[in-house]
Amino acid sequence: MPLPMSVRQSIGLVVYGLGAMLVVAPAFAQSVERSVYAGVVDRTGAVVTDLTVRDFVVRENGVTREVLRVSPATEPMQIAVLVDTSTEAEPGLADLRAGLREFVRAMGDRHQMALVGFGARPTILVDYTTDRAAFAAGADRLFTEPMSGSYLLDALVEVSEGLQRREGARRTIVVVTLQGPEFSPRYHQHVVDDLRNADVTLHAFVLGSPVDLLDQNARERRQALDVGASATGGRLDDLLAASALPAQMRALADELENQYEVVYARPQTLIPPETIEVSVRRADLRVHAARVLPEP
């Protein structure tokens, strides 16, 4: 028996609605590609260069994403090396120079590198250049400012703002500082926010025995380095002896030169993820990669 007209109309509306849902649904399932740069080292600190897509795991807000491609990172870097030129750094000056020479010797000539001192106030000693000889010459001319203190946090803020105006997605700050008082009256979270807003990776070497962190500025500096390195995918190394710096800076250069670009799929959403975690399936390896990515 034929169905009444009202029933046929209702069924038609339902079928039409389901068809519309089938057409619209795939749009919500579309994904976009995102990239993250990662350095991988073994337990000895040596870089690992033979990993593939199957080795990497990417999670956003704890949710696993599909890793699409993994390849050696080829985009040139913008690297600012911030070095302590305060009076406190005078005893370690020869090791500072040697560390800078090792770093620039191990880095390729395709990267833009600058040298900035932060004794008395942040000062550009060598502007951004691909000329490694010019950078090395600037390192050899490094000297400390008489009767000066460390203004590292000011330098981090100013250099981050400068890097944000420069082209290129791979921006890095390398800090070499001695333990001692800090004279920048800044809150550490503001410094970390500037690093993240500029999409900068922070690596830091702190030389000498730990100082009394009862000093407010010293605590803020330590937290800025600790939280900043962790959040941006960098490293924070405490070196009791300044003589260990050259080998450590060469190891950092090796890691930077052998980073991976990890491309993964992210579902399109209105709210970006708060955290990202890049890891590998081998428990004996350590990954340095950003934990928060800026939105394009």
- Which pLDDT does position 23 carry in this prediction? 40
Instruction: Tell me the one-letter amino acid at 113.
Output: M
Cα–chain-centroid distance for residue 166? 16
Is the pLDDT at 20 greater than 50, yes or no?
Answer: no
Q: Where are the domains of the chain?
A: 34-73+259-296, 77-257
Helix (H, G, I), strand (E, B) or coil at 265: strand
> Rounded to an integer, what distance in angstroms lies between the CA atom of residue 106 and that of residue 252?
9
> Rounded to an integer, what distance in angstroms lies between the CA atom of residue 289 and that of residue 276?
9
Residue-averaged pLDDT of the chain: 87
C-beta separation of 196 from 224 below 8 A: no
C-beta separation of 146 from 87 below 8 A: yes
pLDDT level of residue 167 (50, 70, 90 thresholds): confident
C-beta separation of 264 from 67 below 8 A: yes
According to DSSP H, which parts of 74-178 are helical? 93-106, 132-140, 152-164
- Residue 186 has, within 13 A of its CA and on its CB side, a CA count of 24
Strands 260-267 and 31-41: antiparallel
In CATH, the architecture of 77-257 is: 3-Layer(aba) Sandwich (3.40)
Neighbours of 106 (CB within 10 A): 17
The residue ranking higher by pLDDT, 206 or 12, is: 206
The residue ranking higher by pLDDT, 120 or 68, is: 68
| Residue 7 parent element (H or E) | helix 5-29
What is the arithmetic mean of pLDDT over 133-141?
94
- Which pLDDT does position 293 carry in this prediction? 67
What is the arithmetic mean of pLDDT over 161-167?
91
Neighbours of 254 (CB within 10 A): 17
| Tens digit of each residue's pLDDT (9 = 90 or more) over 34-66 | 999 999 999 999 999 999 999 999 999 999 999
Q: List, in sequence order, every beta strand (DSSP E) within the chain.
A: 31-41, 56-60, 63-65, 67-72, 77-83, 112-117, 123-129, 170-178, 200-207, 236-239, 260-267, 276-280, 286-289
C-beta separation of 281 from 57 below 8 A: yes
Overall size of the chain counted in residues: 296
Percent of the chain surpassing pLDDT 90:
68
Which of 154-163, 178-187, 219-228 bottoms out in mean pLDDT, i.e. has the lowest? 178-187
| Tens digit of each residue's pLDDT (9 = 90 or more) over 209-262 | 776 667 888 889 999 999 999 999 999 999 988 999 999 999 999 999 999 999
